[in-house]
Structure 1
Amino acid sequence: MDWDAVRVRLIPQLLAARVSRVTLTGGEPTMHPGLLPIAASFREAGMSVGVCTNAVVLSDEQITMLAKLEAHLNVSLDGFSADSHGVFRGRPAAFAETVENVKRAAKAGILQGLLCTPNNLAQDEEYAELCRFAKEQGATYVLLNPLGEMGRGAAPGAQKLRRPDDHMRNIARLTLPFAADLDVVHIRFPNDDKPLSGCEAGTIIYVFTKGEVTVCPYLVFAARTRVSQHPDTDFIVGNVWEHDDIAARLDAYRFHERWKVGDNPTCGGCSLNASCGKGCPAAVVAAGERIGAVDTEQCPVVPRQSRMLPVVGAS
């Protein structure tokens, strides 16, 4: 995104839409020449700023300036060795670089959390080491999100790198003890008995670099998979570079009035119905169903043999 366009066009529309917190992501935002002035512009508008980064090329200037801006970093770390994180990222040296830069960010007081995609290149115990490292560096959370058919999971062969369900359960067991010191978030781990969470579409919006504004990026990613029955325009409210009324479009969208999650006989007759949020509609869309169908990969009630491959990947 062009810095001037962000300042002149994007920020006023986000303010009108009552946005108070912004996360800059990519791609790799630390490679964008306008990262610091863009972050400064958001802060001048009164918004808090976070940056999601792989931290490989994070510079001293960026750390210093982000600290002055009272911004924070969320860093991707997908294992705790060069043979896991480094290979997963395509360059073994990336592990040492990321770890060193996480330490530098922590020392500057701008490290917020670690974002992790468990994968078959890592041993289960590495995720406990990763949580221990996060605790030592003063992070507030570790978010673990398995590979799927959206995001990184859309790459050819990515499903071969997905950690099997029994290992995901073991990773949950190994990392839960750190919950006393960290917010350890397990996204779409195997679920055997819990009601599903609800959908937050519309409360966390996403702006693509080409200007499309969506109520949920995962719904757009899902709609762009080959089996989707929904066009991506079902979830895009407008384009910030073309439309002047993005705030009004967001207010008028009302996801849960347009689409009824869990609108199927299985959910309707389920004993968990009243307490269940029906899961992720993006997962339903990516599985080739219309919104309203069962989120079968997470539902603890549907027969296990009918469950589909996981569909929501890490950002």
Structure 2
Amino acid sequence: MNALGLGMPTVRRPLYTQATERFVFLYPTTACQLRCHHCYVGTSRLNEANTMSVAQAVAVMDYFKVTAGHDKLYLLGGEPTLHPQLGEIVAAARQRGYQVTISSNGEFADDVFDAVPPGVLNSFNFSLESADPVVHRKIRGNPRNWATVVAHIEEAVRRGYQVRVMCTVSHANAEHAVDLIPFLAERGVHTLSFHNLGKTGNGARFLEPLKPEEWMRWCADLEAMTPERRLAVYYPPTFVPAEQQAQWFERGYPGCPARTLDRPHVYPDGSVYACPVFMDGHPFATFRDGRLVLNTDPDNELNSYLHADPICTGCAHTGTCGGGCPAYSQIPAYDGWYSCDRSTTPLCILWTVSAWGPRPADALHALR
């Protein structure tokens, strides 16, 4: 019973005061050897192959450390291992107190391991789309990548890295993605994170996301599996029945992290986004001369994710969903695909939870 004597859960703290982990997503290069069908960065950026200097990377780290207390650094791309001074960037980040993850497609020479040994890297994250090489190839295109990334996963485990794997789920691999659970557990991988394909970059052109009802069934099937205790498995609820929102709130759902600018994404050209879902649009700021310069164009990302969907007005569920993901009412690619009806409601497409119940706090990726 709540304070009014009604049989409904009591909200003990407001949304957006949940604990957060403050990540900087840094793209040291947009060069990449692959053109994956699910890549949210998009082929045009990859073709430009822009690369930032070590000095620029350090300036970004210093800025967000001082202004917002960020202490987690994700190195992405493109393919970050193509940056010729990746070891220097990692070393500079560790000197500044960042925990560092490299997120890789697995296409690199073994000397990358020597440049960033386990002692200086907190986590090595690999992308793998299925335990079946045929399914993986449908998404990656490259016929050799599956064997290459699996070999590098096994080598990273052997060398003592904390190894994580990310899998983006779409209609192309939904039936086979969970096969990764026993496959990776047997190889000593630490964490598997599933992600829900968004309609950004190449994902809007080549692959089909699961509809909300399909995604909810996929998540329910995952939760119904026999737990694999050797492997931490995370997934994003993304769409939930409205009456179940409170349980995710109690599991730590923090609301839209773009609206609180918790996780800036910084590109070599200085573009700064608050959320990768909006990367087909205009950035909210540019990093220039050691500071953020806000984009004054009204058609920018900031105005998109600070938009409130009219259906949220007067809704009883805003205390646990916080308006959900603004993409579905703001990005044209989602027109006709999903619209909140207060029955099935959206959470952040990127926020993940541990399958089979909470696990001990994970200092690097509890929310991602």
**TM-score (norm. length: structure 2):** 0.64
Partner of 2:101: 50
Partner of 1:206: 265
Query: What amino acid is aligned across from residue 245 of structure 1 in structure 2?
Result: R
Could you list the per-position Cα deviations for residues 276-301 of structure 1 after superposition, in whole angstroms to 9, with x for gaps in the alignment?
Answer: 22211234321479xxxx99837462
Which ranges of structure 2 fall in alignment gaps of 5 or more residues? 1-50, 295-300, 351-367
Could you list the per-position Cα deviations for residues 218-257 of structure 1 after superposition, in whole angstroms to 9, with x for gaps in the alignment?
Answer: 33x15x2xxxxxxx25x22x32xx23333x97xxxxx999
Secondary structure of the 2:324 match is: coil
Secondary structure of the 2:178 match is: helix
Partner of 1:229: none
Could you list the per-position Cα deviations for residues 34-86 of structure 1 after superposition, in whole angstroms to 9, with x for gaps in the alignment?
Answer: 212211221222211111111122x3322243313133111111122121112
Matched, 1:105 2:164: no
- Shift of residue 129, structure 1, vs aligned partner: 1.8
- Which of 297, 300, 305 aligns to 2:338? It is 297
Structure 2 distance, partners of 1:168, 1:39, is 36
Instruction: Tell me: CA distance 1:73–1:217, structure 2 relative to 1, closer, same or farther (3 Å).
Output: same
Secondary structure of the 1:143 match is: strand
Q: Given that residues 181 and 228 in structure 2 are in contact (C-alpha distance below 8 angstroms), is that contact kept between their aligned partners in structure 1?
A: no
- 1:65-214 to structure 2, matched below 5 A, reads 65-122=116-173, 124=175, 126-154=176-204, 156-159=205-208, 162-163=209-210, 168-169=215-216, 171-176=218-223, 177=225, 178=227, 180-187=229-236, 190-193=239-242, 194-195=244-245, 198-201=255-258, 202-214=261-273
Greater alpha carbon shift after TM alignment, 266-275 vs 163-172: 163-172
- Which of 290, 295, 310 aligns to 1:244? It is 290
Could you list the per-position Cα deviations for residues 150-209 of structure 1 after superposition, in whole angstroms to 9, with x for gaps in the alignment?
Answer: 13313x3333xx456666455434433347554433336553443385101211111111
Q: Given that residues 265 and 276 in structure 2 are in contact (C-alpha distance below 8 angstroms), is that contact kept between their aligned partners in structure 1?
A: yes
Q: What is the CA RMSD across the aligned residues, in angstroms?
A: 3.8
Q: Given that residues 22 and 47 in structure 1 are in contact (C-alpha distance below 8 angstroms), is that contact kept between their aligned partners in structure 2?
A: yes
- Shift of residue 149, structure 1, vs aligned partner: 1.6
% identity of equivalent residues? 22
- Shift of residue 270, structure 1, vs aligned partner: 3.1
Q: Given that residues 153 and 163 in structure 2 are in contact (C-alpha distance below 8 angstroms), is that contact kept between their aligned partners in structure 1?
A: no
- Shift of residue 312, structure 1, vs aligned partner: 6.3
Which ranges of structure 1 fall in alignment gaps of 5 or more residues? 225-231, 250-254
Query: What amino acid is aligned across from residue 313 of structure 2 in structure 1?
Result: G
Structure 1 distance, partners of 2:156, 2:117, is 10
Higher relative contact order (CA 8 A, sep 6+): 2
